[in-house]
Structure 1
Amino acid sequence: MVQEWLLELLVGIGRLFIHPIFYFSFLLAVVVGMLRVNRERKDFDTRVYDLYDEVRYILPSSLLLGLLLSIITITAGITLPLDLLSFIAAITIIFSVVGFRLLSPAWTIGLAFIIFVVSEQLGWTFISYEGLSFNHLLLTLAVMIGLLMIAEGVLILKRGWQGTSPRLIQSPRGLKVGVHVAQRLWLVPVFLVIPVGDLSAPFSWWPVISIGAENYALILYPFLIGFVQWIKSTLPELAIKVTGKNIIAAGVLTLLFAIAAYWQSMFAIVAVVFAASVRFWIAWRHYSYEKNRHYFFTPQPRGVMILGILPLSPAKKMKLKIGEIVYKANGVEVNTETEFYAALQKNAAYCKLEVIDIRGEIRFVQGSLYQGEHYELGLILAVEDEPYLKEAEM
């Protein structure tokens, strides 16, 4: 039996590489990267991150989570029919075209759950589950939403704030100000049990949530999770980590409601409605909070604020950080981008900066420069156009 299960695990992994979502996610990440690069070039005349930055985040950061979830799903025997999984994949693709900020499990799987319930009540049959328990399928879906919401929150908390893209927009007062946009796609491969195949139950209690099947197979199913958040009033790391923690809490509560459905099936519906509603509330709460707050990345009365830092640049090696204010370069006070780079040219080989960090404390930063590198320090500054400033002074 052990040999049969090991072989089925390998076959399940192979099924990942023939699933359309697997390839669609990489294509979507490339398209998102192209749009981001075009916007960055428009704002700053250079790209901040390369075209494939979104692609790099798709799998490495989510593989461990997928493994942890797979241990849970295989141990519990989480079983879903292939028709239902295909329907979830179709909703995922449609949502990603509309806007991949919709790619939360609370909405993709939640919508599949709601349509499944409504179609059953109306007598429409488009998902085959003959011989399987309808109530236990709902319970299984609710459990998966809870587990994947927790995974979504963890990914946002740990990785969502890394590599946010700076943007320039016009404030209601007509000033050019900076914002940061977090946009990520994660592919979370999770082993699920499907009610077709040659495997038999290895234990009398398995699967924990029995849907009435007798033979099983395994599939490594790619769940696609998307995240988009605009930040204007604070540092990206602070705002995004709050969102991640809120989603983890919502996922835990959803999972508790789903577990309660083991004894009372109505709680499966409660869990799904709760998950979709709270996920919407989390997004709306951030939007409402940001709407009424002042912009953080703005021209400063003293010094120039760092809006972005190019990867592998001298500024990155000097450990400068987004949100810090450079007020002296090579001993010269600077208040505009022109003054900043003019001060750098005072010393062709070495750069000394006096910086106010995000805690308001002064620190000194220094590093070697090479010939021709002055304008490639790697800093994107939150400064207003100087012609505009001259007009304002007149």
Structure 2
Amino acid sequence: MALDWLVQLGDAAVKLLIHPVFYFSFVLAFVVGMFRVTRERKDFGTRVYDIYQEIRFILPSSLAVGAVLSVITIGAGLALPSGLLSFIAAVLIIFSAGGFFLLSPAWTMAAAYGIFVLSEWLGYPFIPYVNLDLNGILSVMSMITALLVIAEGVLIRKRGHQGTSPRIETSPRGLKTAVHLARRLWLVPVFLPVPSGGPLTSFADWWPVIDTGGVTYSFILFPFLIGFSMTVRSTLPALAVKSTGKSIIWAGVLTLFIAAGSYWIWQLSAAAVIFAALVRIAITRRHFTYEKHRQYFFTKQPKGMIIAGVLPASPARKMGLDIGEIITKVNGVNINSEQEFYEALQKNGAYCKLEVIGTNDQLRFVQGSIYENEHHELGLIFAPEEKEYLDDSVFSD
């Protein structure tokens, strides 16, 4: 039996390469990357990251997450009909029209669940599930939704803050300031058993299996798309993104507890899906409200210049400079503007020595070699030199 499982899993893995969502994710990431590069060049006169930046994040970290989810879905027998999976794929593609932001599983799976249930209640079913139990399918959908929300939170917390993109934004007072856009797309391949004829068997008698009333089964490696997009204005991107990721993890855990109860009371599956969608909206709203009455972070400083971006593979990156740090002196000269910064750099054509206040408020000294007459290629992006004040107006989004 173990050999049969391995053969089916291998066959499902190969078929992933012909799934339309697999290729669509790369096309979507490429298109988003094109718009990002255009915006960065308009704002700063150079791109911060190349056009493939979004593509690099699609798979590496999500493969491990997908493997963990696969162990759970296979072991617990969380089976869905193939027609429903095709419909979920269509929902993912439709929601991608809103960019990465709408691709939270709390919203995509809730939409798929709602449309599926509504079609059944209205008497216009369009997804066949012959010999399967409707309540069992709904229970499985709610549990998979909860698992995907947990996966979303883990990915955001671990990877969502990496490589955020700076951009120029006009404040409600009409002043230009820098903000950071955290935007990621992950493809999470999850093995799912697809019932098609006989009862779904498990690894052992004691392992819980959701009864779908099915017959035989096969495996499919389904590529779930998980997207994330958040603009950070009032703090460091890492702090805001990690906090959001932690909140989403807890939302997923609570959703899973509710969904587990649907094994006995199927109506709890609807409660779980609705709960996930509403809490995810609340988390997004909380971030917006938190920043509404707070001062922009990347603004002109009383002393020095705050770093809004560091180009990859640049001298600044090699010197260990990071966003949010404040450069107060260059080659022993106090600086308060970008022009003063580059004038001070020219005092030494071989290397530069910087005094930097880190994000921990500790002063440190940084130095590194630079090429003569190429001071502009240090690789730093500074916040606009207009001072921002606290304003009660709503930030533009």
Structure-2-length-normalised TM-score: 0.94
- Quick check: 2:58–2:185 contact (8 Å CA) kept in 1? yes
Please name the residue that 2:201 is paired with: 201
Report the CA distance between 1:174 and its aligned residue: 2.3
Partners of 1:275 and 1:284 lie apart in 2 by 14
Please name the residue that 1:138 is paired with: 138
Partners of 1:357 and 1:5 lie apart in 2 by 53
Report the CA distance between 1:206 and its aligned residue: 6.7
Please name the residue that 1:375 is paired with: 376
Please name the residue that 2:392 is paired with: none
Fraction of identical pairs, as percent: 60
Deviations 1:6-40 (A, max 9, x none): 11111110221111100000000000000000000
Output the amino acid matched with 1:326: I
Q: Which SS does the other structure have where 2:172 is aligned?
A: coil
Report the CA distance between 1:198 and its aligned residue: 8.5
Output the amino acid matched with 2:122: L
Partners of 2:140 and 2:200 lie apart in 1 by 19
Residues 205 and 361 of structure 1, relative CA distance in 2, 3 Å threshold: closer
- Quick check: 2:199–2:213 contact (8 Å CA) kept in 1? no
Report the CA distance between 1:205 and its aligned residue: 6.2
Report the CA distance between 1:384 and its aligned residue: 2.1
Q: Which SS does the other structure have where 2:341 is aligned?
A: helix
Gaps of 5+ in 1: 387-394
- Quick check: 1:304–1:383 contact (8 Å CA) kept in 2? no
Please name the residue that 2:331 is paired with: 330
Which runs of at least 4 in structure 1 moved beyond 3 Å after TM superposition? 197-200, 202-207
Stretch moving more, 354-363 or 230-239 = 354-363
Please name the residue that 2:268 is paired with: 267
Q: Which SS does the other structure have where 1:17 is aligned?
A: helix
Partners of 1:229 and 1:89 lie apart in 2 by 24
- Quick check: 1:197–1:217 contact (8 Å CA) kept in 2? no
Structure-1-length-normalised TM-score: 0.95
- Quick check: 1:303–1:335 contact (8 Å CA) kept in 2? yes
Partners of 1:199 and 1:119 lie apart in 2 by 26
Partners of 1:324 and 1:233 lie apart in 2 by 14
Deviations 1:139-169 (A, max 9, x none): 0000001100000000000000000000011
Q: Which SS does the other structure have where 1:208 is aligned?
A: coil
**Aligned pairs, number:** 386
Please name the residue that 1:313 is paired with: 314
Deviations 1:348-375 (A, max 9, x none): 1111000111222211111111234311
Output the amino acid matched with 2:51: L
Output the amino acid matched with 2:288: Y
Report the CA distance between 1:122 and its aligned residue: 1.1
Output the amino acid matched with 1:42: K
Please name the residue that 1:359 is paired with: 360
- Quick check: 1:189–1:223 contact (8 Å CA) kept in 2? yes
Residues 373 and 5 of structure 1, relative CA distance in 2, 3 Å threshold: same
Gaps of 5+ in 2: 388-397
The Cα RMSD (Å) is 1.6
Please name the residue that 2:183 is paired with: 183
Please name the residue that 2:300 is paired with: 299
- Quick check: 2:198–2:217 contact (8 Å CA) kept in 1? yes
Stretch moving more, 244-253 or 309-318 = 309-318
Partners of 2:207 and 2:131 lie apart in 1 by 18
Q: How does 1:226-305 map to 2 (within 5 A)?
A: 226-305=227-306
- Quick check: 2:83–2:128 contact (8 Å CA) kept in 1? yes
- Quick check: 2:33–2:54 contact (8 Å CA) kept in 1? yes
Residues 271 and 199 of structure 1, relative CA distance in 2, 3 Å threshold: closer
- Quick check: 1:48–1:311 contact (8 Å CA) kept in 2? yes
Matched, 1:164 2:173: no
Output the amino acid matched with 1:168: I
Partners of 1:231 and 1:243 lie apart in 2 by 11
Partners of 1:193 and 1:316 lie apart in 2 by 46
Q: Which SS does the other structure have where 2:137 is aligned?
A: helix
- Quick check: 1:78–1:207 contact (8 Å CA) kept in 2? no
